Amino acid sequence: MSDPLLSVQDLSVEFRTRSGTVHALDRVGFEIRAGEMLGIVGESGSGKSVTAYSLLGLLDRAARVTSGRTDFGGRDLLRLGQGALNDLRGREISIVFQNPRTALNPIRSVGQQIGDVLARHDPAPAGAIRTKVLAALRQVRIPDPERRLGAYPHELSGGMCQRIGIAMALACSPLLLLADEPTTGLDVTTQAVVLDLFRDAIREQGASAVLITHDLALASEYCDRLVVMHAGQVVEDAPVTELFARPRHPYTAKLLSSVPSSVASIDELRPIEGSLPDLRRADLPFCRFAERCGRRTAACDAAPLAATTLAPDHHVACHHPL
């Protein structure tokens, strides 16, 4: 097996707030390989977006990375200076944000915004930049790209704005794309169109991608492998087919049984009891799912969690896996 494109190990992040310190991520680790689409799934508040923003140095000023290391082409992203990060973002790693209308500049045309990315990382005469912008718009199947070039975000639909976001992310042919809930607020049909475009575009460029989503059905359709997060911890990591066929962490099993598409009838749906723990607590258990878990024993409270390999490419952080 080839070396991973990106390796993340022991990533921990906390936020200083008026009500206390939020321990947002706890020793998060995963890998992504060349040409792979990795899904990061979990409930809202599980740390999915914080993980992505940590890698690109986009966290709020109140945040602090307390531990961790990464390997992206021999570089630790967590220790790059601002100049190096600015050079890397957009050229080697790009991100598609959750809300395209918020991510796009309302007073610049979409053509100018894609052109800004190209001019920053691949300077060229204005005519050459325009040609590349049109090519980027065609890649995400924007109809009549010559006319859309001068459009402003408020003149476009949410789905069209998200296509623009994908075009911007792909403009400099990065090696890795991070997509943070890219279909939020879009209707089901538009979601499928946007994700089809996203998948086709990264395949065309030979890139890798991380799809962050709470929608397991979408993740199962588009991803090769899934990382399951709960309350800032990675609890399971496995190929999609294996994870759905035999989830080994109690949380993963409960998460799957709460999704309509994974059960034969609505009577089989089971809510996940309890709620995420308060991440401001000083006495958080080693396993942050323990207080919601029917398999909890004294061992769960006695030692830190460590990922265990149960099968090739299948890892679970649990003292009592299913």
| Residue-wise DSSP of 185-228 | T--HHHHHHHHHHHHHHHHHHT-EEEEEES-HHHHHHH-SEEEE
- Residue 60 forms part of a structural domain: yes
Q: Are 163 and 140 in contact (CB under 8 A)?
A: yes
Mean pLDDT of the chain: 93
pLDDT in tens, 94-137: 999 988 888 899 999 999 999 999 999 989 999 999 999 999 99
DSSP state for residue 90 in the 8-state scheme: T
In the prediction, which pLDDT does 275 show?
87
- Residue 10 forms part of a structural domain: yes
In the prediction, which pLDDT does 90 show?
94
**CATH code for position 269:** 3.40.50.300
Range of the domain at 30: 6-89+224-316
Q: What's the predicted TM-score (pTM) here?
A: 0.95
- Residue 160 forms part of a structural domain: no
In the prediction, which pLDDT does 261 show?
64
- Residue 38 forms part of a structural domain: yes
- Residue 189 forms part of a structural domain: no
In the prediction, which pLDDT does 183 show?
87
- Residue 229 forms part of a structural domain: yes
Residue of 264 and 58 predicted with greater confidence: 58
- Residue 295 forms part of a structural domain: yes
Query: What's the structural domain count of the chain?
Result: 1
Q: Bridge-partner residues for 191, per DSSP?
A: none
Strand residue runs (E) in the chain: 6-17, 20-32, 37-41, 63-72, 93-96, 176-180, 208-213, 225-230, 233-239, 308-311, 314-316
pLDDT tier at 1, thresholds 50, 70, 90: low
CA distance 301 to 318: 11
Q: To the nearest whole percent, how much of the chain has pLDDT over 90? A: 79
- Residue 200 forms part of a structural domain: no
Residue 266 has pLDDT above 80, yes or no: no
Burial (CB count within 10 angstroms: exposed 0-12, middle 13-18, buried 19+), residue 202:
buried
Place of tokens 């966290």: 59
pLDDT tier at 319, thresholds 50, 70, 90: very high
Coil, strand, or helix at residue 134? Answer: helix
pLDDT in tens, 149-194: 999 999 999 999 999 999 999 999 999 999 999 988 888 888 888 8
In the prediction, which pLDDT does 303 show?
81
